[in-house]
Chain A
């Protein structure tokens, strides 16, 4: 590719700029104007190219220069990503703040990875010069953070004979750490980092089925609508329903190795929340600070819309890069609707024909292609890694039939539908158990049965059946009043209420309950359902429902989740036995009364 070709600006229409630059390619990066705004060619016609710019174009004039940079939008992949915050085109925001102050100046050019920082490189002792290596061969490792061992891999597309690997020592990311001679005899220099074009999925050896659930510590997710590592899921819901909290909870408490959190067209303060709290919070699995395994991509709603479109691809590419090292990565995109709106805005400015609600015809295929980058794969070095992708969806007016929600629903495997009614009643997480679904229950069940309890799937089904019964009965009550219900039916309502308050509701703000281990999840579910079962048995014996509903233990069932943490599951079980005895007491008492 020829570098630094010079052209001229012709027309500025917001972020869309037309330039005259013969020979430029579609997708190529361009610098626009004296100030040097970066953009990307999105269409070509004759000598002219249409460029979408990642920054505001105020002050740019027709006649100013436009320079082709020779490469497509790419990210830098190497040590130094973890713990960082980057904008939608991977510019390091903390460094930009040092340079340009509190507001983001335009035309700034700061590389994503720190050039000055030295990394302790440990070569792979199993490698010998002369050996054949290919994409994914591990050249060595760098301890990136206390939790993340960064494997330095031969990048995709590179194969040949290893000429040499650098000895152990301190290197900056640009130093040479290996030479590889390809089949044509050309020697290539490899550094601690390489670049990868974000719109091209990184290759892998083979795609595998997901096998184990992503444990998020959230009961309604893990127990009722589980996600698998390598799965794709969506969290749709109206504003304020709890999409961001669900995503942040997953970022905090899931058992992933790496978390990529993409704030795509959302609030600045939400990213600050992560940025300020994660360095203090401990990962429940490693005991280390959460920020050490987390990367933030921040393109907030007030930042340029074109970079918002790019931010999702930047996040995905970094996710795939860590997947290739054999890690389980979770990527959270909040919100994919804002990403879709960025597509819509650009397509509108290009005068493309809108099909539904102003969205271009390619909305569904682009969405599908994004989600398709999630998955569990066999990596080139025969390891296994995964990218789980969870996107928030923000339907206008909370209407799930709108284009982005409906197309997303066709693509994903888990659907956590948030309900305004539940949120208004402060039932959090407001994941609606009727309209949500997971295609992974069966696979997850195998894990639960082996690791936690063999009755998991059965108990889960019972709880959902009870909730369905509750919905039916509530309809009846609303028509004819509660007097029409039998004692057994009233106990069903009480049982469902216990499931809702004691199991489903889980406050992210509760210090104890914010994370719930699988063992505790099952213990609470089992406790609640066995109370329901025991009570039903008594009612069948003729015990009046009022007597049961007044048992003081029921209040404690509702509070149990916050009274005992995940290490105190035995206390929950002890309490379950206590309740059992109380029921037994009532039974004996009642049997006495009836025989008297």
Chain B
């Protein structure tokens, strides 16, 4: 087959155009559309029939005069060129430069759609990453190869938290830093600038590839952006043997773009107008993260997902939570109390923590400390709730102890300075300090040996 070109399209709606009488066009192929002013747009074949093809136009179909365009079928999948030069650069969702520098030239070209990792080729992620943040390291540890999103809401400091993690993340007792792939979808100019400046000031810029689609850029391009970014991440991880941390923000805008296109295509909606395949679509993105047998590099992923109206059951955070290996949930209530980072530990979870912590990885008491703190805090929150109904004075002595614990926990364990990089030992020691406010007998999750070694009664 070869490149084919057509003069007209028959119909355009919501980012899609259809072209008639186009035999033999391959499904998924790349398309270039040129208008009368010689401006080009990119597209992809999303339905290929004998007599008609449907094309998704990444730059949208606004102002497109269907009678005066050239539609070229390039006879190749949507791919990007990759070389070590991508580090330090900024691209759009199709891998075209946004930084005014020339395109990347390379013979290494990869289709952005990727392929599924064979589950039999994966290895289980188990290397603890120290982020320097107590609520993460101590209670919801991140490991290399994990996908751990930040669930947030508008106005919450998720960008600052993500930036702090990028600055501080390292393996315990090891200095190898991460290469960063940063994927921005539909974010504001200010947010993109925040990250760019952050990377520059912390000196990691040479180690970062940015893929950016701003709020006023064409939404359809957001559909390929994370795929393009992950193709770059896979290249860095598996061709260049690097450990890659992918920060993606904001997956909610990605999903909204998907909904827009799905609606235009007439796909049957499931919840809140999102198409039934949103789960599979998100999974294709998130599951590209992980560790592979006998490969030195790895892909760790930290997507930012904002919860519309702070609702964790909204389809986007909900389906994300069903795919990722846990979530870090930010709370407006903590944020309003001036607590940074406002991590609400109860709904937060790291599923891969179990194999990355303990004697050989962090410290032998770590698993039980995490379980014990969770149990105490759960009870403490109930008590706080009760106190707000009946008043703190009505509480028993035991309950008042819980109440105090809840406050200490929020102020000392959760809260930390944006520049504070707490070691895991410091986090665990702090945990023991807080737990030691309880009588020894109440710490039923700890073993006798751990109590003997670490428990220090305060009274």
A63 touches B313 (CB 8 A): no
B375 touches A425 (CB 8 A): yes
B444 touches A357 (CB 8 A): no
A298 proximity list for chain B (CB < 8 A): 119-120
A302 to B111, CA, bound (A): 16
B375 touches A104 (CB 8 A): no
Interface centre among A240, A302, A420 (most CB of B within 10 A): A302
Q: Is A85 an interface residue (CB 8 A)?
A: yes
B323 touches A267 (CB 8 A): yes
A398 touches B313 (CB 8 A): yes
B122 proximity list for chain A (CB < 8 A): 268-269, 272
Q: Is A282 an interface residue (CB 8 A)?
A: no
A106 to B374, CA, bound (A): 45
**B317-337 vs A: 1/0 string, CB under 8 Å?**
011011101110000000000
Q: Which of B120, B125, B313, B399 contacts A85 (CB 8 A)?
A: B120
Q: Which of A58, A100, A483 contacts B394 (CB 8 A)?
A: A483
Q: Which of A252-275 contact B (CB under 8 A)?
A: 263, 265, 267-269, 271-273, 275
Q: Is A279 an interface residue (CB 8 A)?
A: no
Q: Is A60 an interface residue (CB 8 A)?
A: yes
Q: Is A46 an interface residue (CB 8 A)?
A: no
Can you name the residue of chain B whose Cβ is closest to the Cβ of A482? Answer: B396
B271 proximity list for chain A (CB < 8 A): 357, 396-397
B49 touches A426 (CB 8 A): no
Q: Is B270 an interface residue (CB 8 A)?
A: yes
Q: Is A461 an interface residue (CB 8 A)?
A: no
A509 touches B116 (CB 8 A): no
A102 to B288, CA, bound (A): 12
Q: Is B156 an interface residue (CB 8 A)?
A: no
9-residue interface stretch from B35-43, B178-186, B194-202, B289-297: B289-297
Q: Is A341 an interface residue (CB 8 A)?
A: yes
B26 touches A61 (CB 8 A): yes
**A367-404 vs B: 1/0 string, CB under 8 Å?**
00000000000000000000000000010111100000
A13 to B46, CA, bound (A): 7
Query: In the complex, what's the smallest C-beta–C-beta distance from B265 to chain A, in angstroms?
Result: 10
Q: Is B408 an interface residue (CB 8 A)?
A: no
A97 proximity list for chain B (CB < 8 A): 118, 120-121
Q: Which of A61, A238, A268 contacts B25 (CB 8 A)?
A: A61
A115 proximity list for chain B (CB < 8 A): none
B318 touches A239 (CB 8 A): yes
Q: Which of B23, B286, B287, B374 contacts A62 (CB 8 A)?
A: B23
B117 touches A103 (CB 8 A): yes
A106 to B26, CA, bound (A): 16
Query: In the complex, what's the smallest C-beta–C-beta distance from A327 to chain B, in angstroms?
Result: 25
A276 touches B27 (CB 8 A): no
A361 proximity list for chain B (CB < 8 A): none
Q: Is B277 an interface residue (CB 8 A)?
A: yes
Q: Is A354 an interface residue (CB 8 A)?
A: yes
9-residue interface stretch from A208-216, A473-481, A568-576: A473-481
Q: Which of B23, B275, B315 contacts A63 (CB 8 A)?
A: B23
A105 to B293, CA, bound (A): 17
A507 proximity list for chain B (CB < 8 A): 371
B371 touches A426 (CB 8 A): yes
Given A269-B124, A269-B125 in contact, is the A96-B118 Cβ separation under 8 Å?
Answer: yes
Q: Is B367 an interface residue (CB 8 A)?
A: yes
B27 touches A61 (CB 8 A): yes
A82 to B378, CA, bound (A): 43
A302 to B24, CA, bound (A): 28
B119 touches A239 (CB 8 A): no
A552 proximity list for chain B (CB < 8 A): 441
B120 touches A478 (CB 8 A): no
Q: Is B1 an interface residue (CB 8 A)?
A: yes
**B329-362 vs A: 1/0 string, CB under 8 Å?**
0000000000000000011010110100000000
Query: In the complex, what's the smallest C-beta–C-beta distance from B413 to chain A, in angstroms?
Result: 16
A60 to B23, CA, bound (A): 12
Query: In the complex, what's the smallest C-beta–C-beta distance from B215 to chain A, in angstroms?
Result: 27
Interface centre among B27, B386, B441 (most CB of A within 10 A): B27
Interface residues on B, range: 35 or more
Q: Is B137 an interface residue (CB 8 A)?
A: no
Q: Which of A476-509 contact B (CB under 8 A)?
A: 477-483, 501, 507, 509
A312 to B323, CA, bound (A): 19
B318 proximity list for chain A (CB < 8 A): 238-239, 396-398
Q: Which of A102, A268, A273 contacts B293 (CB 8 A)?
A: A102
Please report whether the interface of chain A is mostly helix, strand, loop or mixed according to DSSP.
Answer: mixed
Q: Is A10 an interface residue (CB 8 A)?
A: yes
Please report whether the interface of chain B is mostly helix, strand, loop or mixed according to DSSP.
Answer: mixed
Query: In the complex, what's the smallest C-beta–C-beta distance from A473 to chain B, in angstroms?
Result: 13
B27 touches A269 (CB 8 A): no
Query: In the complex, what's the smallest C-beta–C-beta distance from B263 to chain A, in angstroms?
Result: 13
Q: Is B48 an interface residue (CB 8 A)?
A: yes
**A544-556 vs B: 1/0 string, CB under 8 Å?**
0000000010110
B29 touches A59 (CB 8 A): yes
**B28-54 vs A: 1/0 string, CB under 8 Å?**
110000000000000000111110000
B287 touches A58 (CB 8 A): no
A94 touches B378 (CB 8 A): no
Q: Which of A183-203 contact B (CB under 8 A)?
A: none
B269 proximity list for chain A (CB < 8 A): 358
Query: In the complex, what's the smallest C-beta–C-beta distance from B428 to chain A, in angstroms?
Result: 18
A300 proximity list for chain B (CB < 8 A): 116, 119, 283, 287
A12 touches B47 (CB 8 A): yes
**B256-287 vs A: 1/0 string, CB under 8 Å?**
00000000000111110001110110011011
Q: Which of B124, B283, B315 contacts A276 (CB 8 A)?
A: B124
B115 touches A103 (CB 8 A): yes
Given A13-B47, A59-B77, A301-B323 in contact, is the A268-B270 Cβ separation under 8 Å?
Answer: no
Can you name the residue of chain B whose Cβ is closest to the Cβ of A505? Answer: B375
B399 touches A482 (CB 8 A): yes
B46 proximity list for chain A (CB < 8 A): 14
Interface centre among B1, B295, B371, B444 (most CB of A within 10 A): B444
B389 proximity list for chain A (CB < 8 A): 478-479, 481
**B232-244 vs A: 1/0 string, CB under 8 Å?**
0000001000000
A114 proximity list for chain B (CB < 8 A): none
A420 proximity list for chain B (CB < 8 A): 347
A424 proximity list for chain B (CB < 8 A): 346-347, 378
A11 proximity list for chain B (CB < 8 A): 47-50
A397 proximity list for chain B (CB < 8 A): 271, 313-315, 318
B1 proximity list for chain A (CB < 8 A): 61
A240 touches B349 (CB 8 A): yes
Q: Which of B123, B283, B352 contacts A301 (CB 8 A)?
A: B283
A240 to B350, CA, bound (A): 9
B118 touches A103 (CB 8 A): yes
Given A478-B389, A481-B390 in contact, is the A301-B77 Cβ separation under 8 Å?
Answer: no
B27 touches A58 (CB 8 A): yes
Q: Which of A59, A341, A509, A555 contacts B279 (CB 8 A)?
A: A341
Q: Is A528 an interface residue (CB 8 A)?
A: no
A357 touches B27 (CB 8 A): no
Can you name the residue of chain B whose Cβ is closest to the Cβ of A342? Answer: B280
A85 proximity list for chain B (CB < 8 A): 119-120
B287 touches A354 (CB 8 A): no
Query: In the complex, what's the smallest C-beta–C-beta distance from B361 to chain A, in angstroms?
Result: 14
Q: Is A519 an interface residue (CB 8 A)?
A: no
Since A341-B276, A507-B371 are in contact, a sample of 19 more A-B pairs with Cβ atoms closer than 8 Å, ordered by chain A residue number, is A11-B47, A56-B28, A58-B28, A60-B48, A61-B25, A62-B48, A97-B120, A102-B238, A102-B293, A102-B295, A238-B318, A269-B125, A302-B283, A344-B268, A345-B277, A354-B268, A358-B269, A425-B346, A427-B378
The contact sample of 18 A-B pairs, CB cut-off 8 A, is A14-B46, A57-B28, A63-B24, A240-B327, A265-B279, A268-B117, A269-B122, A269-B124, A272-B122, A276-B124, A301-B283, A302-B280, A302-B288, A341-B279, A348-B268, A478-B386, A482-B394, A552-B441
A-B pairs, top 9 by smallest CB distance, nearest first, are: A397-B313, A301-B283, A58-B28, A425-B378, A302-B287, A481-B390, A239-B321, A11-B49, A348-B268
